[in-house]
Chains A and B, each alone.
Chain A
Amino acid sequence: MARLSDENLVVAREIISRYPRPKSALIPLLHLAQEQDGWVTDEAMAHIAELVGVTSAEVLGTCSFYEMFKRHPVGRYQVNICHGIACHLLGADDLIHHAEQSLGVREGGTTPDGAITMEGVECIAACTEAPCLQVNYRYEYRVTNDDFDGLVDDLREGRRPEIPPHGTLARVRQHIPAASAAGNADPDSGSEPAWLASPGGDE
């Protein structure tokens, strides 16, 4: 698997159609590729470049800037332990140290069975629930060392079916029905919106 599958190609074209300029779809399409393969392959980037009409180098230029895009295979579960200031104050450093010992990998490493990649990351926006972590971007709050070990066991044994594989973000996709779509605002149109010309008109 490398280029987008036929099924994902349909999704990709729908995403592109929502923007006045195709290049705007670049980041959503990279997420789609990562959802398909678990990481972003060179072939996927080349395919995306074709779809949005830019060079592969431009896709790589954008892709390499963002933390969430993995340019190499990672574990089925990406475990991101927050070490932002609130988590730091409530023991994140100890938790990361424990995770390293318990998994037998350093920060950023993947366990030999390919199950877990563990990273210490910047603030994941759950500061009042510190220390916290995300598994494939799903939250776990106020995590103790024992909680962490239990979580890893659960993940390895498949006891957390609500957490999708790495790469899957929103499992609900936006769908704009053709009949009710307002359409893109073409930046070159220069047209004033209708409601400013004739305001009001409630149902």
Chain B
Amino acid sequence: MTVTDASPIITTRFDVADGHTIAGYERTGGYQGLRRALTMAPGEVHEEVKTASLLGRGGAGFPAGIKWGFCPPGVWPRYLVVNGDESEPGTYKDRLLMERDPHQLIEGCLIACYAVGLSQCFLYIRGEMADAQERVAAALNEAYEAGYVGKNILGSDLSVDIVLHWGAGAYIVGEETALIESLEGNRGMPRLKPPFFPAAIGVYGKPTIVNNVETLSNLPWIVSNGGDAFADIGAENSKGTRVFAVSGHVKNPGVFEVEFGVTTFRDIIFDDRYAGGLLEGRSLKAFIPGGASAIWFFEEHLDLPLEKTAVDKAGSMLGSGAIVVMDDTTDMVRACHNIVRFFARESCGKCTPCREGTSWLERILARVLAGQARPADLRLLRDVCDNISPGMEWPPKMTTICPLGPSAVSPIISVLDRFADEFDTYVTLSDRVTIPVTAAAGGTP
């Protein structure tokens, strides 16, 4: 097995007891990246991030330096919005980064503001993450006290307020335009893009950079060590390291920072340094490579490297860095229903194919599980999927403003293609179950 020995970049303080305090952060090299950035011209800092080829860590994987460059020239002010509304099933790296190393995130925000001329920062944390909110609030108070945030930071011309903002429970708000709507005090429904991306028209109609917590947490290291040093780590098209959360049927579920492109799925699932393999006597049935939106992978995908291009090419995505492992005891129809129910509940309701389609899918699957499948249900499932995401291909074709609806199609494709026999078992079972008249006449699809 190839297991990288590259040093971690952003999880270095996870085991430092006081790493979340300003004393612990400064003692371990904190705020040196900001100090170095302030000795450079803003454009030079931006160039370093472009050289590093840092891909956004929120899910879509777009290069951060290039995204920053989309702000239209001469339009002011510009805002930074930190996306800390992580809610994808399987994923929780950002929560740990906020709880255990909040100053690293704050430093990253300041570097981004300096490089791109962002005049105010809103740090949007998921509502349910009370501990992360406390840690970040405490860290911000310390940082203001020490002169790292606010007016004339460290005696320079850089003046930025970082405002802690928090959500109230809605997965869709993790989508950047929905996040902006929510920040403006509205229902968190996505805005249509294109034509206008937030970098051009965002918060209050002004240019806005929305970056993920993990993305920004990489910036202090990049500025301290240089973009070239970052680009030396990782794979051709995926530079640096990536934090993965491995959960499900493994011996040692956990969060691991590994070098992009060197470590494989087999390593991270089976190696003792990481998740340590499956429970005794069990075998691998499937795994989700990048959060609930991703198409599932199987045994034959284990040797793929953890790297964007290779995983995209194999027909799925690394997405939010969540690997969920399912062993041979898993009921695939039930697992599929679980994920589809998630998307049905979290649909914001703005687009009809998603609002209606995801809840239809959920109800059909619930009916199958209840032993009340109709003979046409499998065909109906495919038909509804095709209406949400025409062709049921990867990457999904869209009939909706955002990818939430099409994401619900992924687990169904995965199961229909591979475990059709498990569906059939439920359908056969239904032949032997009496369907109550009220349920059959209940107006379900």
Interface residues of A (CB under 8 A from B): 18-21, 23-28, 30-31, 52, 54, 61-62, 65-69, 80, 83-86, 88-90, 122-130, 134, 136-139, 169-177, 179-187, 189-203
A122 touches B183 (CB 8 A): no
Chain B residues within 8 Å of A199, by CB: 40-43, 157
* The residue from B39, B184, B245 contacting A128, defined by CB atoms under 8 A apart: B245
A176 touching B161 in the complex, CB below 8 Å, given contacts A89-B326, A122-B87, A122-B342? yes
B151 touches A201 (CB 8 A): no
A85 touches B90 (CB 8 A): yes
A-B contact pairs, 20 of them (CB 8 A): A18-B161, A21-B184, A27-B167, A30-B168, A61-B187, A85-B89, A85-B90, A85-B335, A122-B171, A127-B90, A127-B253, A128-B92, A170-B130, A170-B134, A175-B144, A181-B151, A181-B161, A192-B117, A199-B41, A201-B38
Smallest distance from the beta carbon of A113 to chain B beta carbons, Å? 24
Smallest distance from the beta carbon of A20 to chain B beta carbons, Å? 6
A125 touches B95 (CB 8 A): yes
* Complex interface bits, B313-328 against A, C-beta within 8 A gives 1, otherwise 0: 0000000001010100
9 cross-chain pairs, A with B, having the tightest CB-CB distances, nearest first = A67-B169, A26-B185, A66-B168, A185-B119, A170-B133, A203-B155, A128-B253, A23-B185, A125-B92
Could you tell me the distance between the alpha carbons of A197 and B145 in the complex, rounded to whole angstroms?
A: 26
A187 touches B151 (CB 8 A): no
Chain B residues within 8 Å of A129, by CB: 253
* Complex interface bits, B249-278 against A, C-beta within 8 A gives 1, otherwise 0: 100011100000000000000000000000
Chain A residues within 8 Å of B40, by CB: 199-200
Question: Which of B10-18, B121-129, B230-238, B303-311 faces chain A?
Answer: B121-129
Binding site secondary structure of chain A: loop
* Residue of B with least CB distance to A164: B130
The total of chain B residues at the interface (CB under 8 A) is: 91
Question: Which of B135-143, B217-225, B353-361, B420-428 faces chain A?
Answer: B135-143
A181 touches B117 (CB 8 A): no
Beyond contacts A85-B248, A127-B324, A195-B159: 6 other A-B pairs, Cβ-Cβ < 8 A, are: A123-B90, A139-B131, A177-B150, A187-B205, A189-B76, A200-B40
Could you tell me the distance between the alpha carbons of A176 and B164 in the complex, rounded to whole angstroms?
A: 10
* The residue from B169, B205, B255 contacting A68, defined by CB atoms under 8 A apart: B169
B87 touches A127 (CB 8 A): no
Smallest distance from the beta carbon of B153 to chain A beta carbons, Å? 8
Q: Which of A20, A170, A198 has the most CB of B within 10 A?
A: A170
A66 touching B117 in the complex, CB below 8 Å, given contacts A125-B95, A169-B127, A200-B39? no
Could you tell me the distance between the alpha carbons of A82 and B88 in the complex, rounded to whole angstroms?
A: 13
Q: Which of A66, A80, A90, A180 has the most CB of B within 10 A?
A: A180
* The residue from A19, A24, A62, A190 contacting B76, defined by CB atoms under 8 A apart: A190
Could you tell me the distance between the alpha carbons of A43 and B345 in the complex, rounded to whole angstroms?
A: 29
